[in-house]
Amino acid sequence: MQPTLNHQMMGYDRSSTMFSPDGRLLQVEYAKKAVRQGTTSLGIVCKDGVLLLADKRILEKLMIGESIEKIFQVDDHIGASATGFLMDGRVLIERSQLIAQQHKVTYDHPIDILSLVKDIANLKQAYTQFGGARPFGVNLLVAGVDDEGPQLFLTDVTGIYFQYRAAAVGEMETQLKEILEKEYDENMNLEQVLKLAISAFKRAFGKDFDSDRLDGAYIKSSDKLFRRLDKEYLRKLSKKS
- Report the catalytic residues: 39
- Does residue 40 contact residue 170 with C-beta atoms inside 8 Å? yes
Rounded to an integer, what distance in angstroms lies between the CA atom of residue 177 and that of residue 69? 23
Which letter, b or e, does each residue of 158-183 get, where b requires 16 or more Cβ atoms within 10 Å of its Cβ? Answer: bbebeebbbbbbbbbbebbbebbeee
Strand 214-220 to 49-55 pairing: antiparallel
Count Cα neighbours of 175 within 13 Å in the Cβ-side half-sphere.
Answer: 15
Q: How many other β-carbons are positioned within 10 Å of the β-carbon of residue 103?
A: 18
Q: 148, 155, 153: which is closest to 127 by C-alpha?
A: 155
Rounded to an integer, what distance in angstroms lies between the CA atom of residue 27 and that of residue 14? 7
